[in-house]
């Protein structure tokens, strides 16, 4: 039946758990576009037939194909737009540099969209005043305490704290560090907040 492939695309998204970005289904997209082309061409010829040959019995079929075309378009746009929203969420989760695994799941145009988005966001944040603006991708949770106990999950190297002293972040070492400094590293997976 028509629109099967389009519905498959949407179903694929529906199956993926919240926020997860699967590989870009280029084949699926191409197939839906091909179906649309075929439907359109059939409609073109039928419309000509109906007009010149007086075949008004073709009109229901034409309408039906048109509905399928609209459905296909809607499904495609839903698929693409939903993926954009997931990609947008990645910027807020991982920061400007995405892990490679995720980049492989994105198409070239999606990567371009992502780059434009993060540039727009950066421009906006910089304009918020002060010297460098305000990074609103930080401070995602209300601050409970000034310093937190963190454990290092990977070797990171030297890390400078506010008053000039630096700490060596080696795997499995634990430190008591200012919360606002740790937040980006926690999100990147370098540090882990130790809760007693």
Give the binding site for other proteins (CB under 8 A). 29, 33, 36-37, 40, 69-70, 73, 76-77, 80-81, 84, 88, 107, 109-110, 112-113, 116-117, 120-121, 123-124, 127-131, 134, 136, 138-143, 146, 163, 179-180
Min. distance of Cβ 116 from other proteins in angstroms? 4
Of 57 and 131, the one with the shorter C-beta distance to other proteins is 131
Give the separation between CA 89 and CA 42, rounded to whole angstroms: 41
Measured in degrees and rounded to the nearest 5, phi and psi for residue 105 equal: -85, -5
* Nearer CB in complex with other proteins: 33/167: 33
Residue 96 or 173: the one with the smaller Cβ distance to other proteins is 96
Beta carbon of residue 151, minimum distance to other proteins (angstroms, whole number): 22
Nearer to other proteins, 113 or 156 (CB): 113
- CA–chain centroid gap for 1, Å, is 31
Nearest-approach distance from CB 57 to other proteins, in angstroms: 23
C-alpha span between 118 and 88 (Å, rounded):
9
SS (H, E, C) 37-101: HHHHHHHHHHHHHHHHCCCHHHHHHHHHHHHHHHHHHHHHHHHHHHHHHHHHHHHHHHCCCCCHH
Beta sheet of 174-178, edge-to-edge order? 174-178, 147-152, 191-193
Task: Quote the least distance from Cβ 37 to other proteins, whole Å.
Answer: 7
Pick 127 or 172: Cβ nearer other proteins: 127
Taking the complex as a whole, how short is the minimal distance between the CB of residue 91 and other proteins, in angstroms? 11
- Please state, in angstroms and rounded to a whole number, the distance separating the CA atoms of residues 36 and 160: 57
**Residue 131 or 158 with smaller CB distance to other proteins:** 131
The CB-of-139 to other proteins minimum distance in angstroms stands at 4
Nearest to 2 by CA among 78, 62, 65, 46: 65
């Amino acid at each position: 039946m028509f629109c099967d492939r389009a519905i498959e695309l949407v179903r694929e998204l529906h199956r993926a758990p919240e926020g997860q970005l699967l590989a870009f289904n280029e084949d699926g997209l191409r197939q839906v576009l091909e179906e649309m082309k075929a439907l359109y061409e059939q409609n073109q010829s039928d419309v000509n037939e109906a007009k010149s040959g007086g075949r008004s019995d073709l009109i229901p079929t034409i309408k039906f194909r048109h509905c399928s075309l609209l459905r296909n378009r809607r499904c495609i746009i839903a698929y693409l737009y939903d993926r954009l929203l997931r990609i947008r969420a990645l910027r807020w989760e991982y920061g400007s540099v995405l892990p490679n695994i995720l980049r492989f799941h994105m198409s070239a145009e999606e990567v371009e969209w992502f780059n434009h988005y993060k540039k727009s966001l950066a421009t906006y944040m910089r304009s918020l005043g002060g010297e460098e603006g305000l990074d609103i991708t930080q401070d995602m949770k209300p601050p409970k305490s000034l310093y937190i106990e963190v454990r290092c999950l990977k070797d990171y190297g030297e890390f400078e704290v506010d008053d000039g002293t630096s700490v060596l972040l080696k795997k499995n070492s634990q430190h008591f560090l200012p919360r606002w400094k740790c937040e980006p590293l926690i999100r990147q997976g370098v540090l882990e907040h130790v809760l007693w």
